[in-house]
Amino acid sequence: MADRPLTSECLEQRRRELGISKRQLADRSGVSLATVLRILGGRIDSATVANVRAISSVLGINLTASTTCTSYEAQEREATSKAEDIVAMVQGTSALEGQAVDPAVRQEMVNRTVHELMAGSKRRLWST
């Protein structure tokens, strides 16, 4: 089986290939039938890793960790999110004072804050 993202469709296809019923999969994996049905039905994102691992193991599928972006991209995404929150607070305070912030100025504030967060402590970047 070629490497591909683990999805509900991937698990369901493998289950069918093996000819194992959903009840049998639940019994062999130790995962409740309701959870197996939920995962195979397309709601894998709401499942625990332990349940997905148990089902995958019965189906003979390895769980491997593969990155979806570079470290820099993940840090930049976090910095942008944090910067948006910070600027929104500042913008809210300015609005209360009757000083609306121009969209271009707001974006410049976000960009500057992202730059500062990226240049600073990684610990501070990830803190809440």
pLDDT band at 100 (very low <50, low <70, confident <90, very high): low
Q: Please tell me the least confidently modeled range out of 5-9, 11-15, 99-103.
A: 99-103
pLDDT of residue 123: 85
Co-location of 115 and 77 in the same domain: yes
Number of domains, the chain: 2
Is residue 2 in a domain? no
Percent of the chain with pLDDT over 70: 86
pLDDT of residue 26: 95
pLDDT of residue 2: 52
Is residue 98 in a domain? yes
Q: Kindly tell me if the per-residue pLDDT of 93 is higher than 90.
A: no
Co-location of 47 and 82 in the same domain: no
Residue of 18 and 1 predicted with greater confidence: 18
Span 90-106, mean pLDDT? 71
Co-location of 55 and 75 in the same domain: no
In whole angstroms, what is the distance from residue 41 CA to residue 55 CA? 13
Co-location of 51 and 90 in the same domain: no
Residues spanned by the domain of 33: 8-59
pLDDT in tens, 19-67: 999 999 999 999 999 999 999 988 887 788 899 999 999 998 887 766 6
